Amino acid sequence: MYSESVTPVEAAEAADGRLRRIGTLTELREHPPTAAELRRRAVVVDAAAAGDGATLDTVPALFPWMEVWRDHVSYATGVWRCSVDEHEDDPLYTAYEARHLDFHTDMTRYLRPPEFTVIRCIARAVAGGANLVVHVDDLFAELERRARTDLIAVLGEPRTLNMDERHRNVPGAGERASGVLAVPGRPDVPSRIFDPTAATKAMHLDMSDADIARYEEFRQLCDELDNLSRRALLARHDVLAFSNWRFLHARTACAGGRRVTEISMGNERSR
């Protein structure tokens, strides 16, 4: 668990270890990214190491321990293609809009959201379109430093999940359907940082109006704490991977549109 004795300096040092870039095939072979690493830090695999094959071939080659998730209709093929078109007035998904996407975690409507997210660049935006990631533990350390016990309490309170039967994807879970927004120091607990107006489209936990106000304050703070987040501007065929339970992710505005990414999600086999 997160300790109150962690100082801001220690929190900053921890944040420095939150992104690794794998630039060569040799480094990839000698130090392949593991599930444990992705819970601790995000990894960018450069195109030079990731290759130019199809995304559905590339992901299992880079992360052989990952079982690619196919539960959601968007992920039935194992890959979701996200195409940003700035000229589209009413795109099918908000992720297709050219504007900045706020910090969130993916598939928060599921009792057990997939643990890992892999984003592969197919075509860069003319400008912008960087991916941002921030580790939950670094956010909590900062909240502690600011003595924001009110926000910490709101994030950690167990709440009823709003979910359809088809999202209750834990065998034997019965009626148990509660979750938290986020807790520090617990890699086994999914974060559920939904974006009610954009990326995840709905409220997925029952919350009072007062708690929603605190939650929105927290989400705004995530955007402001840019010293804690890590930024990856992916070139064609670069890959970014991280734990969807431990990292929140965002995307900067895609000036010029035309950004295409392919996204796979998955879980560690046998977990």
- Return residues touching Fe ion (CB under 5 A): 106
Closest to Fe ion by CB, 106 or 144: 106
Smaller CB distance to Fe ion: residue 106 or 115? 106
| Cβ-based nearer residue to Fe ion, 106 or 137 | 106
Instruction: Work out how close the CB of 243 gets to Fe ion at its nearest, in angstroms, rounded to a whole number.
Output: 13
Could you say which DSSP state residue 235 is in? P
- By beta carbon distance, the residue nearest Fe ion is 106
Closer to Fe ion by CB, 86 or 106: give it.
Answer: 106
Q: Tell the residue number behind the tokens 């921890």, with chain if given.
A: 14
DSSP label at residue 265: E
Smallest CA-to-CA distance from 129 within 202, 41, 232, 29 is with 232
Q: Which residue's CB is nearer to Fe ion, number 28 or number 260? A: 260
Q: Closest distance between Fe ion and the C-beta of residue 135, in Å?
A: 16
Of 114, 245, 111, nearest to 177 by C-alpha is 111
- Exposed, middle or buried: residue 71 (CB in 10 Å: 0-12, 13-18, 19+)? middle
Residue number, 106 or 211, with CB nearest to Fe ion: 106
Token pair of 25 as six digits: 């095939």
Contacts 24+ apart (CB under 8 A), 49-57: 49/22, 49/23, 49/24, 49/25, 50/120, 50/237, 50/238, 50/239, 51/237, 52/237, 55/79, 55/120, 55/122, 55/262, 55/264, 56/264
Angle, CA 120 vertex, CA 117 and CA 122 arms, to 5°: 150
Task: Give the nearest distance from C-beta 108 to Fe ion in angstroms.
Answer: 10
Min dist CB 210 to Fe ion, Å, is 27
Angle at 219 between CA 218 and CA 224, to 5 degrees: 90
Q: Can you tell me the distance from the alpha carbon of 254 to that of 98, in angstroms, rounded to the nearest whole number?
A: 5
Least Å distance, CB 264 to Fe ion, is 12
Query: Closer to Fe ion at the Cβ: 193 or 207?
Result: 193
Provide, rounded to whole angstroms, the least separation between the CB of residue 263 and Fe ion.
8
Q: Whole-number minimum distance, CB 255 to Fe ion, in Å? A: 20
Tokens coding 218? 């927290």
